[in-house]
A and B are shown apart, each in its own frame.
Chain A
């Protein structure tokens, strides 16, 4: 389905990543956002608050992030495409509702513009230290999808992708920006609406009498109904059967939770997006994401100038982790170098997938700035030995 032209600000713009993310949400059809101010993410909802009444939709500033992260889910069950936007401390408060969205299969997008932590940390400065929290932050077993843009243009393009994936898999999608990408201003091209593909809601075609809210057919994702359509369905965060009714028995738990995982895991290769360069002859592969991938690119260029055989794998989807890709590469390369603005998060995933077939080197950084390319270069040189 094509985007609704009312939400699409077609043209060439010079805007920051936060604003581009808002435009991506509008282009994707989001007409509802609930938020709570927090640096460095607030510009996304500020722009949404200004834009959405001219497009037809609602923004509400809630009393806290606990509220924002569930208000948006009420809106989804009322028929809207909806999202919320936050940063570290707010993201921590939203964890329970990421679990609720996963359990109730509420399609929605959580934007996290990452800043330095823990706690209040560095409100105005970047980090990439919420990557594991995005994957594991809520209790229990579940899967989510997480995307990592590295430019304002991608903040636009991938926000649309985030909404599309949320609808396709009925899963909360984490949009993992960082302060630099959020506050960086660059050219952003917004195409005409008829060139933007948006995924419609998986709405049931069944009649009121034949509809079971959590019945699946083949692809493990059930079809939805909205409140007010006569289906009189029940939704609960408790373990539930196909009727949506609580059924707290081990077999029902097993069936439900495995499906929630498998609907994503089985599609992991299809969901996986990455950018690769010079992997053909690479002996060392730099695995990076978000703003760090741009800094890493400079280090890679410097390394190749020195004659080192270095390739690039940029993760666009961080979750589900593209482990097959890493496994494949680990059989041909000497080592992986993983720079990230944290003290070691995704590097553990790389190490796990490489399973000892190739060495793994972290280039950690506590956040507050980006790496110096030379620091990454140093580790590339070491890994090439």
Chain B
């Protein structure tokens, strides 16, 4: 696994930090690689914006911060506005499609969209949207072994919500397995309908 910089961003209550913990755990504990996660603290991190940085690699991670993410996951419009410009050329952008309208993207970014919140609501618990997102992430990025991530999901949520989260992971994973990356241009051309919350 090459050194990969990931940023997950959204708003409080979406499980942003937990998503990063699950991915980091999968890499470092269940897949034998290395992972370093940091999160933004302080008053600016309360309630509103919330963001986690995760670096995974085959060799020990030295520099703990993400400078140019290879993969950016955005679950809120604010997060998108703030972080999209950081994305590396040729990087991957994953968006919560019902909450985010993407604009000003560089041409060669791969964009994957998932209605993670809606899928979670279909499963009966909106709060598992982060596991949907983690499943989707796993399917579209091919960065981590799906079984390693499954174990990390099971290991990171309360026992009473384990099955539901694993189900959410699978739904996200399935959605991702058939998802097509789109270029920013085609995204706009297609006039994808966005819902704003």
Contacts and interface: CB of A to CB of B under 8 A. Distances in A.
Given A184-B37, A186-B28, A370-B65, A14 B21 contact: yes
Interface of chain A, main secondary structure: mixed
Interface residues of B, number: 18
A40 interface: yes
Given A185-B36, A186-B37, A294-B62, A14 B29 contact: yes
Contacts, number: 54
Given A12-B29, A14-B29, A185 B63 contact: no
Contacts of B28: 14, 186-187
A297 interface: yes
Interface in A200-229: none
Contacts of A40: 41
B62 A185 contact: no
Contact of B41 (A124, A185, A294): A124
Interface string A290-311: 0100110110000000000000
Contacts of B21: 14, 185
Given A124-B41, A183-B41, A291 B35 contact: no
Contacts of A373: 63
Interface of chain B, main secondary structure: mixed
A294 B37 contact: no
Nearest to B20: A185
A187 B35 CA distance: 7
B35 A186 contact: yes
B63 A370 contact: yes
A291 B29 CA distance: 22
Interface in A1-34: 12, 14
A39 interface: yes
A123 interface: yes
B42 interface: yes
Interface in B28-75: 28-29, 34-39, 41-42, 61-65
Q: How many residues of A sit at the interface, in one of the four size bands?
A: 20 to 34
B15 interface: no
A276 to B, nearest CB: 17
B64 A14 contact: no
A94 interface: no
Contacts of B38: 180, 183-185
Contacts of A291: 64
B29 A187 contact: yes
Given A183-B41, A187-B28, A298 B36 contact: no
B83 to A, nearest CB: 17
Contact of B37 (A185, A295, A298): A185
A298 B62 contact: yes
B135 interface: no
B25 interface: yes
Interface in B145-170: none
A123 B41 CA distance: 9
Interface in A320-340: none
A39 B41 contact: yes
10 contacts: A14-B25, A14-B28, A14-B37, A123-B42, A186-B24, A186-B36, A187-B29, A187-B34, A294-B62, A370-B65
Interface of A: 12, 14, 39-40, 123-124, 180, 183-187, 291, 294-295, 297-298, 369-370, 373
